[in-house]
Structure 1
Amino acid sequence: MGTPLSDDALDTIFRTARTYNGYRDKPVSEGQLEAIWDLMKMGPTSANMLPARMVWCISADAKAKLAAHTMPANGKKILAAPTTVIIAMDTNFHELLPEFFPHDQTAKSWFSDDAFRKQSAFRNSSLQGAYFIIAARAIGLDTGPMSGFDNDAVDKAFFPDQPAVKSNFISTIGYGDPETIFERSPRPSFARFNTIA
């Protein structure tokens, strides 16, 4: 059984955390990126499939290559951010299940259907993307997750020799500039969108 987090921790991860459109001029270290991965990899995925594949765009060249395939407003954010990550998915994740799900050596066969495997990769890499956001916030960083890019073009640019790897979404990372956030948008009450059956 876990211990409830403090209000300060809940604020950091959820209540006062925000999506940032710009960042302070402060770098993000590779050690911090590894720390994010070491947390997010612990989040649950179906059969421990871990389909997410991450490309951390740190260099100016990598950020420019990515920005070229996004909406103009998103491209500006990417170029100005300390780091941007592509959260992608390996649709052939099942090849690694004998290693990652060793207690059932039949698990690879569960995903022999291409459509089901791609659906599973998308769902679970999206979960891992959410874990990424929480992990980044937990170690004191801010994020700016976004769509608004050409998936096919990004895949050709960053995964030319990996046809099974497909981009899901992207996110900037850094120390958020409070001047770049919008006023908090409404959040519905429990009663509005929830049913207890």
Structure 2
Amino acid sequence: MTAPAIDRLHLSADAADLLFRDARTANAFTDEPVTDEQVRAIYDLVKNAPTAMNAQPMRLVLVRSGEARARLVERMAPGNQDKTAAAPLVAIVAADNRFHEELPRVFPHAPGAKDRFADASVRENAARFNAAIQLGYLILGIRAAGLAAGPMGGYDAAGINADFFPDGEHQVVAVVNIGRPAGNAWRDRLPRLEYDEVVSTV
């Protein structure tokens, strides 16, 4: 008899449920605040996410002021506006297109690493790809803190970049609502592809 999948993991069943099995995108939250201390604890976990050359291009903008929230809500797709307006905390996840400036410090054993990203298009693609990896870890970190995440891609990217990153050195990757899930936070779980539909061996 094949052992249940959870028996082959080092993660407890409760942790697997918290991070993966029971976790879903939250669409509604309670009004309990999300503190800076909670965000620091989350970041302390997710800063260890893998990135190429330890590049770490993800940057987070915590949208806390009413004025900034109103500007952001205007840039969201209609279906995302109300929940973005009501979430306890909203984070803009961005990729720093100047991440290569930090490479001499964060990747010191490859002195020429910075020069590999002299081409702006190569650099921006690398920034976005690696920030997307970090975004996945951020969602897991939010769940690990006992909170729920509502990551969204429905927005006017050019507008958000113009409003929040006018220097052109950052590009938005996602907008994430964060908080304690309300009773009506979840939609029904949608179907997932099975192992044999996704995995092949060569």
TM-score interval, normalised by the smaller of the two chains: over 0.9
Q: What is the match of residue 183 of structure 1? A: 188
- Any runs of at least 4 consecutive aligned residues in structure 1 with deviations exceeding 3 A, and if so which? none
| Contact residue 23 and residue 82 of structure 1 kept, 8 A | yes
Look up the equivalent residue of 1:125 and give its one-letter code: A
SS of 2:11's equivalent in the other structure is coil
**Is 1:158 matched up with 2:187?**
no
33-42 vs 75-84, greater mean Cα deviation: 33-42
What value does the CA root-mean-square deviation take over the aligned residues?
Answer: 1.2
Q: What is the match of residue 192 of structure 1? A: 197
What is the rounded CA distance, in whole Å, between the counterparts of 2:180 and 2:133 in structure 1? Answer: 23
Work out which of the residue numbers 157, 160, 176 in structure 2 matches 1:171.
176
What is the rounded CA distance, in whole Å, between the counterparts of 2:55 and 2:142 in structure 1? Answer: 21
Structure 1: which 5+ residue stretches go unaligned? none
Q: What is the match of residue 125 of structure 1? A: 131
What is the rounded CA distance, in whole Å, between the counterparts of 2:58 and 2:42 in structure 1? Answer: 13
| Contact residue 21 and residue 144 of structure 1 kept, 8 A | yes
Work out which of the residue numbers 147, 156, 160 in structure 1 matches 2:153.
147
Structure 2: which 5+ residue stretches go unaligned? 1-8
What is the rounded CA distance, in whole Å, between the counterparts of 1:59 and 1:20 in structure 2? Answer: 22
TM-score (norm 2): 0.92
Percent of aligned pairs with the same amino acid: 38
| Contact residue 89 and residue 168 of structure 1 kept, 8 A | yes
Count of residues paired in the alignment = 194
What is the rounded CA distance, in whole Å, between the counterparts of 1:31 and 1:89 in structure 2? Answer: 23
What is the rounded CA distance, in whole Å, between the counterparts of 1:155 and 1:115 in structure 2? Answer: 17
TM-score (norm 1): 0.95
Q: What is the match of residue 103 of structure 1? A: 109
What is the rounded CA distance, in whole Å, between the counterparts of 1:34 and 1:104 in structure 2? Answer: 30
| Contact residue 60 and residue 79 of structure 1 kept, 8 A | no
